[in-house]
Amino acid sequence: MNKTFNNLKTFYHKLGSSPWFYKISGITIPYVALFSFLFLSIGIVWGVFFSPTDFKQGDVYRIIYMHVPAASVSQAIYYTMTVAAVVSMIWRMKMAGIFIKSMAPIGASFTFLALISGSIWGQPTWGTWWIWDARLTSTLVLFIFYIAIISLYSSFSEKKSADQAVSILTLVGAVNLPIIKKSVDWWNTLHQPASIKFTQSSSISPEMLYPLIISIFGFYLVVLLSGLMAMRAEIAKREINKEWFKNY
């Protein structure tokens, strides 16, 4: 038990070291790229071309293979940014600031993709591109928080104060996350409740669910890949004059 804790502590300290991260990410990026390509292409091709047609919505439902993964990662990225914000505020870990700075544009992109794909799906099924219901509005708020984080960061010239200010803003925006998740249960919305359930059987049939899960996995790998690349670029930007970087 004590040994496990010590290993975790060592790992935590290593994560805080930018040279270590720069080295490890350089090694892992090609593998992550390969697997994200595999999972994403299998998930999307299977979903779009080989999964069965839905009994109610017909073929238009196939946008689910893009909409649900994008919506899922857009929230997951914000959760990880919240953890990084807490670490950055309490331990002043430099890497936590780099993490938030690098992930915010990726989160914004996927939230945008979720909003757009949802809009394209809504028009033929619901009959409207947009409606101010609780699920759509709270997702738009998430997008605005990402944009606010990016703009707040760029308004500072000093990295240390930028990291602290952005951490506070990230923490405030975290309140929105449970609202997005529970909005369809707490209020009347046009958006339907979740189809993939963890505690009971899902309301989407297995032959439609499997490609969806592969596609979701592929999206998470793409986020991991782009996150690693963005963080490497940010480390290089901040530490270009450091001794270790010159010798790398």
Partner 1 sequence: MIKIRKNRLYAVLFIFGSSLLATVLVLTALNQNINLFYSPSDLFASNPSPNKSIRVGGLVQKGSLVRIPDSLEINFTITDLKEEVTVNYSGILPDLFKEDAGVVATGYYDQINNSFQAFEILAKHDENYEPKEVVQALEGK
- Which of 11, 30, 192, 237 binds partner 1 (CB under 8 A)? It is 192
Pick the stretch among 146-154, 155-163, 183-191, 215-223 that binds partner 1 (CB under 8 A).
Answer: 183-191
142 near partner 1 (CB under 8 A): no
8 near partner 1 (CB under 8 A): no
| Nearest Cα residue to 87 out of 183, 182, 170 | 170
Pick the stretch among 28-36, 39-47, 51-59, 234-242 that binds partner 1 (CB under 8 A).
Answer: 51-59
Distance separating alpha carbons of residues 139 and 241, to the nearest angstrom = 40
How many residues lie near partner 1 (CB under 8 A)? Answer: 43
213 near partner 1 (CB under 8 A): no
Residue 170 burial (CB < 10 Å; 0-12/13-18/19+)? buried
**CA 103 vs CA 79, 90, 234: distances in Å:** 11, 20, 11
Q: Could you tell me the smallest distance in angstroms from the CB atom of residue 234 to partner 1? A: 23
Distance separating alpha carbons of residues 177 and 30, to the nearest angstrom = 32
Exposure of 126 in the CB half-sphere (CA atoms within 13 A): 15
Exposure string over 221-242, b if 16+ CB within 10 A, otherwise e: bbbbbbbbbbbbebbeebbeee
- Which of 7, 34, 193, 244 binds partner 1 (CB under 8 A)? It is 193
- Which of 56, 157, 201, 247 binds partner 1 (CB under 8 A)? It is 56
Both tokens assigned to 220: 């998470």
Q: Could you tell me the smallest distance in angstroms from the CB atom of residue 142 to partner 1? A: 14
- Which of 26, 203, 233, 237 binds partner 1 (CB under 8 A)? It is 203
Give contact residues for partner 1 (rule: CB under 8 A): 52-58, 61, 64, 86, 89-91, 124-128, 131-134, 168, 171-172, 174-176, 179, 186-190, 192-195, 203-205, 207-208
